């Protein structure tokens, strides 16, 4: 059975919180392996991330994976977040270097962790957490090469990481090339493809450009002229994500991670079409 997981981001308002919990409730019956909650640039959502994770623990049966970054914070501040997570019952952390508040080049805090590897080492030494890290099938924008990225991933594994989730990818062949490159580099932990079903093509294209994710010409052509046609974009978004997931499944991938963008309907539809997750109860 294919394992699935979902990513959410913490809400910025009461209305957004209501929407988020509606979406969590909608996806929960699919029985994801875990759900992750993001941590904003420079730790900007620290309190909201913690509150969201705590509510998931208290009010659902889902297993939360809390994001943690070391950017713009001292070791003591980061360790305090870890203490709060542990006290809340968190068992799984997604350990990331993180983005600078101004989205510029990374610069370690003078009293902070030097980057993701040192952060992972500290978490592993402390114990009590399953540690997930990031991976980049199309190379991190700040990396010199894909080979450098793979070397960094191996360093994260040596430090204590047990799985990796990739940046979202729209060019499915990039996932396949990355899988083969990881196999050649003797990387054996699960590296879970990141899938981002979306109706907001303009926003997705902007994010893809920022993180160096290739947007295939045929995908761009599918959305051409549909900026004001949400209904058609919904159908296309589901079809594109289903095709991508189906190809990955046919290629032997056993895990899929969905970046939900706090919008459950599209991800739910994709999982139902592909019969991913727990079977839903029949209404009598």
Question: Catalytic site residues?
Answer: 7
Question: Can you spell out the DSSP letters for 151-177?
Answer: HHHHHHHHHT--EEEEEE-S-HHHHHH
What letters, b where the CB count within 10 A reaches 16 and e where it falls short, cover 97-136? Answer: bbbeeeeeeeeeeeebbebbbbbbbbbbeeeebbbbbbbb
The answer to whether 196 touches 259, Cβ cutoff 8 Å, is yes
What letters, b where the CB count within 10 A reaches 16 and e where it falls short, cover 6-31? Answer: bbbbbbeeeeebeebbebbeebbebb
**Separation CA 117–CA 220 (nearest Å):** 36
For 216, the token pair is 């295939």
Q: Does residue 200 sit in helix, strand or coil?
A: coil
Closest C-alpha to 241, from 277, 193, 279: 193
């Amino acid at each position: 059975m294919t394992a699935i997981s979902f990513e959410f981001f913490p809400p910025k308002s009461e209305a957004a919180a209501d929407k988020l919990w509606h979406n969590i409730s909608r996806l929960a019956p699919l029985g994801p392996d875990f759900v992750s909650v993001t941590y904003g640039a420079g730790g900007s959502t620290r309190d909201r991330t913690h509150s969201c994770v705590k509510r998931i623990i208290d009010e659902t049966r889902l297993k939360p994976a809390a994001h943690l970054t070391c950017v713009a914070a001292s070791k003591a501040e980061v360790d305090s977040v870890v203490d709060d997570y542990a006290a809340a019952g968190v068992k799984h952390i997604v350990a990331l270097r993180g983005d600078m508040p101004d989205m510029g080049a990374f610069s370690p805090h003078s009293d902070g962790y030097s980057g993701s590897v040192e952060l992972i080492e500290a978490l592993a030494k402390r114990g009590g957490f399953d540690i997930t890290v990031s991976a980049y099938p199309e190379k991190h924008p700040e990396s010199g090469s894909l080979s450098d990225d793979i070397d960094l991933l191996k360093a994260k594994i040596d430090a204590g990481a047990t799985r990796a989730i990739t940046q979202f990818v729209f060019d499915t062949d990039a996932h396949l090339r990355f899988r083969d490159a990881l196999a050649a580099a003797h990387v054996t932990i699960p590296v879970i493809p990141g899938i981002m079903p979306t109706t907001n093509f303009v926003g997705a294209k902007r994010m893809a450009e920022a993180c160096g994710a290739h947007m295939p010409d045929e995908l761009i052509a599918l959305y051409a002229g549909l900026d004001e046609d949400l209904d058609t974009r919904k159908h296309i978004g589901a079809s594109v994500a289903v095709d991508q997931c189906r190809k990955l499944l046919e290629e032997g991938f056993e895990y899929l991670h969905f970046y939900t963008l706090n919008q459950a309907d599209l991800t739910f539809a994709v999982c139902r079409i592909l019969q991913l997750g727990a079977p839903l109860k029949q209404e009598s």
